[in-house]
Structure 1
């Protein structure tokens, strides 16, 4: 269905000039028929839409099984194509009639229809089996550009090179994986917001292919990918490679997808990493993690469902066990957490129960009455056998944070038996979701999403507040660590960097379009960092290492605690949707 400057063969033109009754007549196998390329036409839609045609071709893929697409794919024999590399030689035939099987030549009389961008035959009047025939050669896909793909619509194809898995959001829902030539990085990780960043993101979306499962059912059971079924030990991670992709190039629901003839080969190149080892030099380890809505009902096993998080007490227990496993393995001294239920500090509060689950050595910072009215808040927990909490904690709950938002938390700590201390500030800025966005908080199409202005104002307020905090003797410096909901080159990060704070993960592990090994989040196929450890100028020289631990963002969301697939009950993998940030500081 692409533009072509070439003419149809004289034979095809004669067929198109025949009266409709001649074209509709089913006829015998081998009788004149409309070429499939003529049905596909020269543009994005068929010139014969709404008309009746008779075509003859080879059944290449049968999707009439239970849960399938209620039809099959029909492709012109290699010897009968129009030899035009810009036109497709295949159609989808929408029918439940049972005639035919793969490798059989069929003669079909039906009406041409456009269905959400897919050219198909529907209202099938007759299907005649014409004997076996060799399958058409699979065409080689080398560039995943829409204009190139259009000419292969519904045809047998194979992908010349391995592709990279960049998203698994719909794996359990529809059996889909999103593939690209390589991993895709959020443009505002390495470019300032603006038209160029928006253009690159648009191009990223166009250079993708979905690996489908040949079925149209929701919640397929078993989950088709990886081969053998998804579970806690048999995972497929974004960043992994897929080889030997062979099947039908399909267009459904606004996306190009491959319906595979056979399972492709999965190569787990992005394997699950161990927890980062602690340095040999004396240091304090700080770990930051978004808990993905840790809510504990009423704290007594009831009060479910809550507005967020686990919906039952047993589900909460699974969530807690998995979070504890993730938070314990790197052996941190201090934990900064976001998306924690804002329900006070009593024995039944979410933070108190999390501390107990971590172990008897764990304590938490309290700021009663200063936590704001949001459903979630930030929090700090620490190993009381290693770390001393010094001055009383403070919250920024004035100005921009007086009516809405999550008040940032500040607390000073020092290692047991030492004099030098560190000030830790934990913010959680407004998300990029556009719900309720008005005025200058709307999406400006510059790559930052909605509420960029609000996040920028919050960053300014955060800097001013830190500067006004009471002076602390023997302070090594300040660490801002939490979820800023902003990628590295976006305006809030620029504000903090201009104030003298350095993203230490980016300092040790720079992120470019070609290589970005440390990130905390994946969204719609692009990866980048929303969570940070930002050191003040005084603290920067004391930082030994800063890194992310890739336990969550690359894993399928189907492995989350709500699904409780086999092998996941006490696993750190996909314990949240954000990767944690880990920073080691010499004090």
Structure 2
């Protein structure tokens, strides 16, 4: 039989539990409170999510400033930790209440919440300042993360990174104030491994072992752009491959990534300086530069017609884009230029290619391969110095029946270098990108490291090889150079097909690539370096190959320096003139 006292006790007990946090907060500083480590728990999600708790700790970083994260980081003092290495001792407190400053001890009551992977305290009902506190010592951390374990046990805590880290990505630097760091450069898996499970595992391991250097701001387009301090500029820039040290602050987790909110600016060291133009050996009689132009569109050709389908959005942008591309193309002193992502607007005097030829100088002409350019907005093209090489015969492009869709038909042209009776054939190709829009069936991502449309790229490569064999073969033909943007890394199927057909990767003949060091790559994507742009030399022509380089002027530079970026750069500078690096190939005839 239930007594009246037992009934009342049972009725009031839940109400008392509901009000306990308020009573605890009201009890004041030093009263019983929930340990922050108990709120964090040993797993990625809090065991107390949804519950209301009262905690005490020291404010280690205040992010309630304008544009900040609307809250502060609260950590248990060192003498009050639970000595469990599996639990974090810190929380993010989401509030705009102004109580408390960095270094002060505060008592806070609120509801525990998981916010996209970040354990935080929200719906704050009370904050009380408890006087001056003692900041906990930063925990030492290293990359890669020890034993491959994500640092959940350090979430929201003060940390200090040991040694130097390497900048591997700056794509979001001007938009979000972020730099991606790692223990060293990360190489695209299929640049060194065949597509498959090993490549996929390497990719995933790279993704896990990164740290974003953030700016304690929750707003877009921070100005000045924070890194390197006091702000990014043409003369104070950062390249992929540069090193960062003295990194300390709060280890935060936001938007699916571990990031460091710094207490003071870290130190940047130039470890990958802007390179000089690759020298041309005395034996080289023919130099070819290959470059993806990054969508060169010239409006109507008379300073109007902007924005266009791609590229510059106004005439002033186009002028700067073209000027910087010219600086990049002319500096190596080439005889022939092979380009991709040229506007497919014909070959008349107002076309984009005619404008580029005029900007290159009086000796420059372009190959008029006007038929069969396809319906894509961009195409591949060739330009040449008429005082150094002679065009032999007409240009060729494959017909629709011999080149698969989707794709951009390649262009082929015979050239004879000055002083030589021999010719070489140059074919400029640009295969389908890895973007997944519209991908169906075998063109969907097969999760082997090759991305979407790998089937289309393989079919296009086979078609190019077959078409090459069908072209006229004059007696004085020294060989064939297939160059351009293959949108495939070195161990992927298109490059394997080219190698099987007897084509040599010119750059890799002179510059090797290992699992830990792979110089002379042409592209960076989401923090990984690899090669998309190639010079592939046929057997007969390989004997005349005397040099090949990738000039790293673009992919390593932040896009904030591009012609559409917020950081001004002189028009006669080649840096970030495109997002691909040019490939420079030298022959002796």
Q: TM-score, normalised by structure 2?
A: 0.95
Aligned position for 1:440 = 442
Q: What is the count of residue pairs matched by the alignment?
A: 570
- The structural deviation recorded for 1:32 is 1.4
Q: Distance in 1 between matches of 2:579 and 2:116?
A: 32
Q: Distance in 2 between matches of 1:133 and 1:512?
A: 51
Aligned position for 2:135 = 135
Q: Following superposition, which runs of at least 4 residues in structure 1 exceed 4 angstroms of deviation?
A: none
Unaligned runs of 5+ in 1: 1-17
Secondary structure of 1:478's aligned partner: strand
Secondary structure of 2:481's aligned partner: strand
Secondary structure of 2:204's aligned partner: helix
- After superposition, give the CA deviation of every residue in 1:437-456 in whole Å (9 maximum; x if it has no partner): 11111100000001111111
Aligned position for 2:57 = 57
- The structural deviation recorded for 1:403 is 5.5
Secondary structure of 2:212's aligned partner: strand
Aligned position for 1:121 = 121
Alpha-carbon contact 2:406-2:456 (below 8 Å) kept: no
Alpha-carbon contact 1:287-1:335 (below 8 Å) kept: yes
Q: Against the structure 1 CA distance between its residues 471 and 143, is the aligned structure 2 distance closer, same or farther, given a 3 Å change threshold?
A: closer
Secondary structure of 2:108's aligned partner: strand
Q: Return the match for 2:497 from 487, 495, 498.
A: 495
Secondary structure of 1:189's aligned partner: helix
Secondary structure of 1:108's aligned partner: strand
Q: Distance in 1 between matches of 2:110 and 2:350?
A: 67
Aligned position for 2:459 = 457
Alpha-carbon contact 2:91-2:156 (below 8 Å) kept: yes
Alpha-carbon contact 2:403-2:464 (below 8 Å) kept: no
Q: Distance in 2 between matches of 1:81 and 1:495?
A: 60
Secondary structure of 1:54's aligned partner: strand
Structure 2 residue 509 is the aligned partner of structure 1 residue 507: yes
Q: Distance in 1 between matches of 2:260 and 2:183?
A: 14
- The structural deviation recorded for 1:132 is 1.1
Q: Return the match for 1:284 from 275, 283, 286.
A: 286
Aligned position for 2:10 = none
Q: Return the match for 2:352 from 321, 339, 350.
A: 350
Aligned position for 1:362 = 364
Q: Return the match for 2:546 from 540, 544, 548.
A: 544
Aligned position for 1:466 = 468
Structure 2 residue 24 is the aligned partner of structure 1 residue 22: no
Secondary structure of 1:124's aligned partner: strand
- The structural deviation recorded for 1:475 is 1.7
Q: Distance in 1 between matches of 2:578 and 2:92?
A: 41
Aligned ranges for residues 89-108 of structure 1 at < 5 Å? Answer: 89-108=89-108
- The structural deviation recorded for 1:343 is 0.6
Aligned position for 2:298 = 296
- After superposition, give the CA deviation of every residue in 1:357-378 in whole Å (9 maximum; x if it has no partner): 0000000101122211111000
- After superposition, give the CA deviation of every residue in 1:325-350 in whole Å (9 maximum; x if it has no partner): 00010111100000000111111000
- The structural deviation recorded for 1:417 is 2.9
Alpha-carbon contact 1:400-1:458 (below 8 Å) kept: no
Secondary structure of 2:306's aligned partner: coil
- After superposition, give the CA deviation of every residue in 1:386-418 in whole Å (9 maximum; x if it has no partner): 111112111122335365421111111112232
Aligned position for 1:43 = 43
Alpha-carbon contact 1:561-1:568 (below 8 Å) kept: no
Q: TM-score, normalised by structure 1?
A: 0.95
- After superposition, give the CA deviation of every residue in 1:27-72 in whole Å (9 maximum; x if it has no partner): 2211111100001112221111111111110000000000000000
Alpha-carbon contact 2:253-2:259 (below 8 Å) kept: yes
- After superposition, give the CA deviation of every residue in 1:94-123 in whole Å (9 maximum; x if it has no partner): 000111111111111111111111110111
How large is the RMSD of aligned CA atoms in angstroms?
1.2
Q: Distance in 2 between matches of 1:32 and 1:352?
A: 78
Unaligned runs of 5+ in 2: 1-15
Q: Distance in 2 between matches of 1:399 and 1:66?
A: 60
